[in-house]
Structure 1
Amino acid sequence: MSKVKNPKLAKQGRLSYEWARSHMEILDNTLNRLKKSKPLKGITLGFCLHITKETSVLLMGAKELGATVAACGGNPLTTQDDIAAFLASQGIHIYAWTGQTNKEYDWCIEQVLNHKPDILTDDGADMNVKVHFDKKYQKLKILGATEETTAGVTRIKAVEKQGKLKYPIIVVNDAYTKHMFDNRYGTGQSTIDGYLRAMNLLIASKRVVVVGYGWVGKGVASRSQGMGAKVIVTEIDPIKALEAHMDGFEVMPMAQAAKLGDIFITCTGMTSVIRKEHILKMKSGAILGNVGHFDVEIDSDFLLKQSKSVKQVRANLDECTLKNGKKIYLIGQGRLANLVAAEGHPPEVMAQSFSNQILSILYILKNHKKMETKVIKVPDEIDKQIAVDALKAMDVKIDRLNAEQIKYMNSW
């Protein structure tokens, strides 16, 4: 049982899946190592993730390990319809298509939960929040869950702080082999990709304002600088602001950066970081986009609903003419620019993130009876094993401590 936009796209989706899998050696090796034993046989997994070619490798892999798989998109605009069609053709229960309304998006999550999953994998915590607070799903027996992204971790920790967490949740986002690589290198590259597809303008010489200097912001700032941009960083955290300054970037408040920037990229996971008062200060022609999980960072309501006129001038690029005559451009309606305007992270990066996911799912299955009901980090042995697998896949060799060094290290 599935619902997708166009089942006839399955053939193209298969080609994209095969391309991704051929570049996800870390995950592929893990799946091949485990699939003979079918460790997920008899288990139903519920996924709420961006339905991309990389995600299809994870979902197909879970099926190969014996699981019944039900999945929906983690965002109304980021599903790749050919991938959804391919997954449906392979017996995966998929409820996803691009261009969903909020009501349709919510319906798709409910369809996955109606399969009564044992373990959830979420990206942004929408599915986990529904299980916790929607009365229809209070009786579901969830063994545990994993969370993929920073914004979702923030929400789940808020649930835990309120004392309302119902089952253990492993925060895959906080694994070193996830946030240091996926958030930094993956988002850094895919953001540039999305912006270039949407605007097709020169980045070199332009002032790019990066809002937030967490792992995502670091990657975006680094890649923007690599393209020749003059990078400005805005921050609220003094330590991150100091780091950005020491990394060679200009650091200033948004009220000041708004007057200078040509291109704005929000990376915070926080609401209302570019507001009406900032937009009114911007130069005509400024381009705004967001790569935080939710479309709350930029005041897109002001741009799309209160502008004198709004017209789509390119795919995923709206020209908003303000009442003062300035033209401000918005990428992807303020949603994830790297997924709405492009294809998300490269497969080599997602191989690490999804290896974390599949091994964390297996960890929950094996250990859920003794796990505490709280937010839990990825076990160190999983994180380290993925780093070892990644180095092997990239044909990188490292040194090991010899007996003398081990003795020295253990001596006071």
Structure 2
Amino acid sequence: MALANYNHTAAERFMRYVQVDTQSDPMSPSQPSTEKQKDLSRILVKELLEIGLTDAELDEHGYVYATIPANTDKNVPVLCFCSHVDTAPDCSGEGVKPILHKNYDGKDITLPDDNTIVVSAKDHPYLKERIGDDIITASGLTLLGADDKAGVAIIMDLAHYLMNNPEVKHGKIRMLFTPDEEVGRGVAAIDMKKLGADFGYTLDGGERGHLEGESFSADAAVVTFHGVSAHPGYAKGKMVSAIKAASAFVSMLPDTEWCPEATEGMQGFVHPTSITGELETAVVKFIVRDFDTKKLAEHEARLKGLAEQAAAKFPGTTIAFEVKEQYRNMKEVLDLNPQVMGYAEEAYGRAGMKANIQSIRGGTDGSRLSFMGLPCPNLFTGEMGIHSKQEYVSVQDMEKATEVLVHLAQIWAEK
């Protein structure tokens, strides 16, 4: 049953939040990667204080921490609800103009600032399930920012509801808003002791009813080719081109398997994300993904083997092969704490839907948080068409997610 007589604030908040440019920058070494992410974070702190959360604060790394105080004498584990404020570098997030399409009728939505951008049920089948909902899009020139400002607005709506409905009993709830999730550094500088939570949930999923308790395990790999420089006019027998070796290596990568373009479901992949180089040195960067953590080493051994084969074609070439861990499959931790997923499934049921348990072909802040001591699956927000100008979200999905969080807080207190 929906929250009785409650006027949700998620949509109104969301429409304001997306107008703040919070795009993160993968090339920046700073924390956060862009200072403009703090523009939204400062707004959130102000609004949290106005709601009545007296300890809301923004730290130097761009994290917002706040507490919804417990209103029960029971010894309830501390929950954390988490979303990220940044938007993806893939598409502009500057000057977002959100548009509310009330009572969506199932027809194509042509965006006014670029008529070539059309949000259609043909391309987005989930829209067929949202006929009658109020749909929010951008105007055609930018992404919308539902990933993950929908999650931010939902958690803010929860805080507003709980602070104004003290009869709903719950334990202590910590709220966490992070920067830089889109560039893989969302939890890099979190103070876990300061956060002080026992279990968590990220709000960064898509379709209503989706509950994500499994993610990829992820590594980054860097293959560096070293050649030999020589004057091109006198290079015979001397020059060894690192550029040619690296290019040969990339051309050896399969395109019918083992790559994002040809994999789905539970299949892993290896994906080159950039190639740079000059005569003496060329660098190819990769992401390596699989649900089975043990298979990462197999993928990396295969990749290194191909690099060595490519180098052998250009005598005098040497290679360096480096691997760095990025995150691990949250399921490995959640399986040890089954109540976290179990209570979420129960909350979905109380909100009138059956949980559709999914695996994420990617990772969230929850993937890393789980291995930092905070078991943390991912809940739906309604964000769809993410990282693109066709991004959209259903208002009713956001409101349903708020309802799930209320039930979740109650269930943890009851148990």
Give 1 or 2: higher strand fraction.
Answer: 2
Same fold (TM over 0.5): no
Larger radius of gyration: 2
Higher relative contact order (CA 8 A, sep 6+): 2
* TM-score (normalised: structure 2): 0.27
**TM-score scaled by length of structure 1:** 0.27
